[in-house]
Structure 1
Amino acid sequence: MTVTTAPSCRTLLFIGDSITDAGRREDPEQLGHGYVRLLAEHFAAHEPTATVINRGIGGDKVADLEARFGPDCLEHAPDLVTIYVGVNDSWHRFTRGEHVTEESFEQGYRRLLAQLAATVPGASVLMIIPFVADIDQERVQIHSDLDGKVAIIRRLAQEHGHRIVDLEQVLATALAAGHTPQSVADDGVHPTPPGHRLIADAWLDVAGR
C-alpha cells in the first residue's frame, strides 16, 4: 500500500513599497497587478497549497516597514519572507527633501532582520536589490544616494546568509537584450508589465521554481 504524504502548506510573504504593492489594496485578492501576482499565479499552478501574502504599501521606506513589521509580517509566521525596500529612502531625498542617512537605513534594515531571526527563525529570507532605470538625468542623480544603500543591503545579506534578487543585474541584462530603460520602468522606478515579469522571473531563479 502506498502512503501519500500531505504536501506542506507554505506561507510566502512579500513586504515592501509601491513596487510590491502594485495596487493590491484596491484588489479584492490583495495581490495587486505586479510581480507578486505573477508569483501567486505561478504557485497556484505549481504549489497549490502555498499561500502568497502581499504586504506592500506605496511610499514606504525602511522605517515604515519597521513600524508595521509585527502585524504585517511576523504575525503571519511566514516560511519565506521577501523584503523589497530602498528606492523611496533615496528617491524622496530628491522629490521631497527627506534625507535618510546610510546609518539610519542600515540600522532599520538590521532591526528588520533581527526581528525575523528572533520571531520566525526558520523562515527563509530573500532581499531584493532595488534599481533605478536611467530614463533622464533626474533619475540618474538618485544613484548618488541609492548606491550606498544598495551596498548596505548586499553586505547585510552576506552577513546573515540571506539570498538576494539582484535587480541591478536584471536591469543590465534586460538592456543588453534590447530593452530601453522606459520599457522596464516607464518613470524610472515603477516597473512596466514586462518589468514586473523580469522581477518575478529573477525571484523564481533565486527562490526555486
Structure 2
Amino acid sequence: MTRIKENSLVLFQGDSITDWGRNREESESLGHGYALLVAAEFGRRYPEKKVRFLNRGIGGNRVVDLQERWQRDCLDLKPDWVSIYIGINDTWRRYDNNEPTGTEAFYEGYRKLIQRTLEGTDAGILLVEPFVLPYPEDRKAWREDLDPKIQAVRELAREFHTPYVALDGLFAAACSKAEPEYWAADGVHPTAAGHAIIAKAWLEAMEA
C-alpha cells in the first residue's frame, strides 16, 4: 500500500534528470523521464486516488539553486509530498567549471531545504540519492567528490525519517547485467532503461 493519500499533490524537484524535457510553458508537463513513468504507473495502480503530479526540476541545478527558488517552486505550491533528487551537479561543476561544493555546504544547504519544507508545508518528503557510473573513464575520479555527498543524503534521510531511494547501489547492480552506458550514456543522464530503474525504486520506496 502506498503512503500517498487520495487527492494528494506530489512534487518532483531536482536537476536535469528530473526535468527531462518538460515543457516550461505547461505547468502540468512532467517531461519524458522517471517523473512521467512514476505518474503513469501510479495512476494505473491507484486510479481511485486521483493523485496529481507536478515536475519542477531544472537542468543544471545544484542545492544552492533549489534554495533560491524553493519558495515559488515548492512551498507556494503546497504539495502533500516532495520528492528531492539533487547532487550530481554539485559534484560535476567541480570538474568541468572549477566550482566545487564542499560536503558540509552541500549537507547544510540540503538540510535547510528539508527544514523549510517541514516548517512551510504539511508535506511528506522523499529523498533520492545521486549516482554516477564509470563511463566515460573520467567519471571514475568523481567518486571522491560524490561519495561523501551520497552519505550526506543518507544521513538526512535517517535524521528526518524519510522514504529513501538508494540509486547509486541500484545502478551499480544494474551494471552487472549490462555495460554502464546502457543505463546512462554519459554516466550521469539515464537512458530510458535507466529512468525505469528510478521510477520502479521510487514507487517501491513509497510502499515501504
Per the normalisation by structure 1, the TM-score is 0.91
Aligned to 1:115: 116
Aligned to 1:174: 174
Deviation at 1:184, TM superposition (A): 0.6
Aligned to 2:193: 194
Deviation at 1:23, TM superposition (A): 0.6
Distance in 1, matches of 2:181 and 2:134, equals: 8
Matched, 1:11 2:9: yes
Deviation at 1:27, TM superposition (A): 7.6
Deviation at 1:182, TM superposition (A): 0.2
Aligned to 2:97: 96
Deviations 1:106-128 (A, max 9, x none): 111011011011011x3221110
Distance in 1, matches of 2:161 and 2:43, equals: 28
Distance in 2, matches of 1:74 and 1:147, equals: 29
Structure 1 unaligned spans of 5+: 1-6
Deviation at 1:42, TM superposition (A): 1.5
Distance in 2, matches of 1:184 and 1:27, equals: 29
Q: Say whether the 8 Å CA contact 2:136–2:186 is kept in structure 1.
A: no
Amino acid at match of 2:13: I
After the TM superposition, which residues 1-209 of structure 1 pair with which residues of structure 2 at under 5 Å, given as runs? 8-25=6-23, 28=26, 29-48=28-47, 49-120=50-121, 122-176=122-176, 178-208=177-207
Deviation at 1:133, TM superposition (A): 0.8
More divergent stretch after superposition (81-90 vs 43-52) = 43-52
Distance in 2, matches of 1:21 and 1:37, equals: 10
Once the two structures are aligned, what percentage of the paired residues are identical? 41
Amino acid at match of 2:104: E
Deviation at 1:45, TM superposition (A): 2.1
Distance in 2, matches of 1:84 and 1:142, equals: 18
Give secondary structure in 2 for the equivalent of 1:25: coil
Distance in 1, matches of 2:88 and 2:39, equals: 24
Deviations 1:18-48 (A, max 9, x none): 0000011368552111000111112332334
* Max Rg structure: 1
Give secondary structure in 2 for the equivalent of 1:126: strand
Give secondary structure in 1 for the equivalent of 2:30: coil
More divergent stretch after superposition (192-201 vs 154-163) = 154-163
Aligned to 1:3: none
Q: Say whether the 8 Å CA contact 1:184–1:195 is kept in structure 2.
A: yes
Deviations 1:81-140 (A, max 9, x none): 1000000000110011111111211111011011011011x3221110100011132111
Give secondary structure in 2 for the equivalent of 1:24: coil
Per the normalisation by structure 2, the TM-score is 0.92
Give aligned pairs, total. 201
Q: Say whether the 8 Å CA contact 2:9–2:54 is kept in structure 1.
A: yes
Distance in 2, matches of 1:169 and 1:79, equals: 28
Give secondary structure in 1 for the equivalent of 2:135: coil
